[in-house]
Structure 1
C-alpha cells in the first residue's frame, strides 16, 4: 500500500466504510421486494443479494476502474488528499441525508466536490473536465430513460402474464421476476456504485487488495439494511408485483448499460425514475412527494458534500504540510 503511509491507510479505510454504507442503503430496494412479497425466505434473500453484490463489485466493476482513478491528475500527495477529502465528505453526506429521508447519490456528491477542490487548488491538481460534464449529463438522462424503460418493461411483462391461464404458472412467473429483479439490482449496485468507490481506493492501494476488500465490505453491508429494506419493499409492492419488477428491471437495464460504458451514475435516482415511471399511471400525492424528494436531493447533497470536502481538504493539507 505504497509504504503504508497514513494517508493511504485513511483513504483505504474510508473506502471500506463507503462500500459498506452504500451497499446497505442502495441494496434496500432489492432486498425489500423479496421481504415484502415472500418470493424467497429471509435466509435465501440474503444469500441471493450477497452473491449478486459480490459478483457485481468484484467482476462487474471492472469498467468503472477509471471513474475516479484517472479523472484527477497531479502529485501523489495532492491527489490522495483530494480523493480522501471528497470520499469522506460524500460518504458522511450520503449517510446523513438518507438517514433523514432525502434520497441522495454518492456520485452526485463526489464529482462536484472533486471539481470544486480542483478549482480552489490553484493548479495543484488537474481534472478531466470532459468526463466530469459527461457524467453530469448522465445524471439527467438516466432517470428519464428509466421512466420509459420501466413502462415498456411493464407493458411487455403484463402481456406475458396475461397469456398464462393457469394461476400456478402465473405465480411462478411472478416469483421468478421478483428474484431476478432483486439479484439484478444488487449486481448493478456492486458494479457501479461500489465500482466508483473501488476506483477511488486505487489511488492508495493495489487493485487486487482494493477489489477483494471492498467487495467483501459491500457484501457484509447488505445485512445491515433490514429496517430500510422492509419499508422500501412494502412501498414498492403497492405498484403490484409486475409493476415493482418492471420498475426495478427497467431502471437497472439502464444502469447496467451506463456501467458497461464506465459512466458513473446515480443508482438511487435511476431506480426512483423507474418507480416514478410506473407510478405515473396514476398521478397520486405519493408520486408528487417522490419527485419533490428527488429534487431536494439534487440540490442539497452536492452542496453539503462540497462544504465538508473543502474543510477536510484544508485539514489534510495542514496536517501533512503539503
Structure 2
C-alpha cells in the first residue's frame, strides 16, 4: 500500500469515527425520546442505556448492514471515495443536528454514496435495484411504526392503563426501559454500517484483515463514536422529538418505544435472512412515526409545524448529501 493510500485511509477512518459521532448525536433521540418525554428516565440515565445497548447491537449484529452500504448501493468504493462520502455525510448531519432536526442519517450516508457513484460512473454507477428497495423501506418503515404503535397501545398499553390508572406502574416503567434498550440495540445493529460499512470492501481489498475481522473492528470503532455522540450532542435532537411533536405519557411512550424497536429490528434481520443483507432504514423515520402514532391513538394534538419541518429535512437529505459528495469527490479528483 502506497503512502498516499495509507494517508487517505487513515483520514477516512477518522471521518468514519466522526460520522459515527454524528449518528449518536442525531439518532440518540430515537431510542430515548419516549422514556425521556414521558418522564420515566432523565436524560443522563437514558443516554447511558443508549450508549451501552447501541454498542452491543453494533458489535453483535452490525455486520448485517455493513455489506449493504459498502457493496449494495455501488459496485465498489475507492479510497478517495471513502473520504469524500464520509465528509459529505458528516457535514450535512452536523448541520442538522446543530439545528435540532432529527434527520435520517441512513439517508445521509446513502445519499453520499449515490453522489460518489454518479461522480465516478454516472447513472450506471448506482445499483438502482438496491436503491429502490432501500427507498421503499424508508417509506414503509414510518407507516409500519404508526400501525405497530396503534396495535401495541390497544393490546398492551390500554389494558395496563386500565389496571394502573394514572400511575406509572412498575411494569409499565420496566417495559418502557426495556423498549429503550431493545431500540438502542436495534439502532446499533442497523446504523453502525452507515458510518463504517463503506470500509469493508476497501480494507479487504488492501489485505489489511479478513472480512469478518474487518467488520468487527469497524463495529467497535462505530460503537465508540455513537456513544460519544449521544453523550455530547444527543440532547439537541432529543428535545425536539421528546417534547415538540406531541405529549407523551408512560403508556403512549411504551407503545411508541416498543414499536420503534420492533420496526428497526425487523428491517435489519428479515431482509438479511431473505436476500443476504439488511435494509439500512431510517431509525428516525421509525421513531418519529411511532411518536406521531402515539399522539394519534390518544387523540392528542400533533405539532404540525414541527412535523412539517422534520419532513422537509427528510426530503432534502438525499439530494443535499449526494450533491455535497459529488462536488467534494469531483474537486478532490481535480486537485489530486
Q: What is the TM-score when the length of structure 2 is the normalising length?
A: 0.83
Match of 1:153 in 2: 152
Q: Deviation of residue 290 (structure 1)?
A: 3.8
Match of 2:229 in 1: 221
Matches within 5 A, 1:64-79: 64-71=65-72, 72-74=74-76, 79=78
Q: Deviation of residue 97 (structure 1)?
A: 1.8
Provide the C-alpha distance between the structure 1 equivalents of 2:40 and 2:161, rounded to a whole number of angstroms: 20
Unaligned runs of 5+ in 2: 204-213, 272-277
Matches within 5 A, 1:46-61: 46-61=47-62
Match of 2:174 in 1: 176
Question: Is the 8 Å Cα contact of residues 269 and 294 (structure 1) preserved in structure 2?
Answer: no
Aligned CA distance change for structure 1 residues 313 and 238 (closer, same or farther; 3 Å): same
Match of 2:255 in 1: 246
Unaligned runs of 5+ in 1: none
Match of 1:81 in 2: 80
Match of 2:19 in 1: 18
Provide the C-alpha distance between the structure 2 equivalents of 1:236 and 1:172, rounded to a whole number of angstroms: 26
Question: Is the 8 Å Cα contact of residues 181 and 249 (structure 1) preserved in structure 2?
Answer: yes
Question: Is the 8 Å Cα contact of residues 78 and 202 (structure 2) preserved in structure 1?
Answer: no
Aligned CA distance change for structure 1 residues 264 and 43 (closer, same or farther; 3 Å): closer
Matches within 5 A, 1:299-318: 299-318=315-334
Aligned CA distance change for structure 1 residues 269 and 44 (closer, same or farther; 3 Å): closer
Q: Deviation of residue 32 (structure 1)?
A: 4.5
Match of 2:206 in 1: none
* Segment of structure 1 superposing worse, 158-167 or 63-72: 158-167
Q: Do residues 104 (structure 1) and 106 (structure 2) align?
A: no
- SS, match of residue 78 in structure 2: helix
Provide the C-alpha distance between the structure 1 equivalents of 2:157 and 2:125, rounded to a whole number of angstroms: 50
Provide the C-alpha distance between the structure 1 equivalents of 2:103 and 2:18, rounded to a whole number of angstroms: 17
Question: Is the 8 Å Cα contact of residues 111 and 317 (structure 2) preserved in structure 1?
Answer: no
Matches within 5 A, 1:163-312: 164=163, 171-205=169-203, 206-224=214-232, 225-230=234-239, 232-235=241-244, 238-260=247-269, 261=271, 262-281=278-297, 282=299, 284=301, 286=303, 288-312=304-328
Q: Deviation of residue 158 (structure 1)?
A: 2.6
Q: Deviation of residue 311 (structure 1)?
A: 1.8
Question: Is the 8 Å Cα contact of residues 176 and 258 (structure 2) preserved in structure 1?
Answer: no
Question: Is the 8 Å Cα contact of residues 33 and 236 (structure 1) preserved in structure 2?
Answer: no
Instruction: Render the CA deviation track for 1:78-104: whole Å, top value 9, x for unaligned.
Output: 633333322221121112123224331
Q: Deviation of residue 129 (structure 1)?
A: 2.2
Q: Deviation of residue 271 (structure 1)?
A: 0.9
Question: Is the 8 Å Cα contact of residues 239 and 279 (structure 1) preserved in structure 2?
Answer: yes
Aligned CA distance change for structure 1 residues 158 and 268 (closer, same or farther; 3 Å): same
Instruction: Render the CA deviation track for 1:229-265: whole Å, top value 9, x for unaligned.
Output: 3554445782211111211211221111001120011
Matches within 5 A, 1:108-127: 108-122=107-121, 126-127=125-126
Question: Is the 8 Å Cα contact of residues 33 and 242 (structure 2) preserved in structure 1?
Answer: yes
Q: Deviation of residue 215 (structure 1)?
A: 1.5
- SS, match of residue 164 in structure 1: helix
